[in-house]
A and B are shown apart, each in its own frame.
Chain A
Amino acid sequence: MPIDHSAIAEKMEALRAPYRAWLATDMVPYLADARTHYGAPGFDEERLMFLVHRLKGTGATYGYNAISLQAAPLHDALSDGGADIQTIHTMLTGLMTACEQATQP
């Protein structure tokens, strides 16, 4: 049976819409907050790592390549633990911008 590409595209868009909403309502504010508080005592680095890993895996799968491209080096930097705070801040800004751009119509 031939694949109905327009139906597939419609279903993919139905998945993208809540993903974009999650980026807008959860991820962008979270990344802004992480940028402010990263390195401060009590900052939950494990949660940051988990969410960056999630963005790395899901971004391009949902059609937002820039998210995965920004998340991958940040995930590596967080895993290695050797990057300075300024580098992490810059990477967080890049990832936040990619998430913001994905939410634009």
Chain B
Amino acid sequence: MAPPLKHILCIDDEEDILHVLRLALSDIGGFTVTTLTSSADAVARSCVIQPDLILLDVMMPGMDGRTTFAALREQPALANVPMVFMTARVQPHEVDEYLGLGATGVIRKPFDPVRVADEITALWNHYHAHRS
């Protein structure tokens, strides 16, 4: 059985998206939510924040989602933290690419604020079911 998902770190350069994610994941999902708008900031601070799961935008200026993903994975404290990409690019070959990098799953943008907490919970449970 999966441990309870409590703390989600959301990384997206668009504050409009982070506002809705906070509402969706905190008010609807009941999770603790930390948001960051800078991927560099995320790389520097994620191991201190110690999230249970990281939700990561793919298209960001400067360090994009893939590069950020790799930089986060290199940190021992984050090596086993499931990471989920958020993107509008969800063609099968694109999803395969994200999963190939080691992502736990993909949330399609634009997302439904009412359903996104359930989608993330399902990915969390799937991750732990396959881990054990």
Chain A residues engaging chain B, CB cutoff 8 angstroms:
1, 3, 7-8, 11-12, 15, 19, 50, 53-54, 56-62, 68, 72
Contact = CB atoms under 8 A, between A and B. Distances in A.
B27 A57 contact: no
Interface stretch (B45-53, B107-115, B119-127): B107-115
Q: Is the interface of A mostly helix, strand, loop or mixed?
A: helix
Given A12-B113, A53-B59, A58 B27 contact: no
A15 B30 contact: no
B78 interface: no
Interface string B54-98: 000001010000000000000000000000000010000000000
Interface string B8-33: 00000010110110010001101000
Interface residues of B, number: 17
Interface of B: 14, 16-17, 19-20, 23, 27-28, 30, 59, 61, 88, 109-111, 113-114
Nearest to B86: A57
A7 B113 CA distance: 14
A8 B23 contact: yes
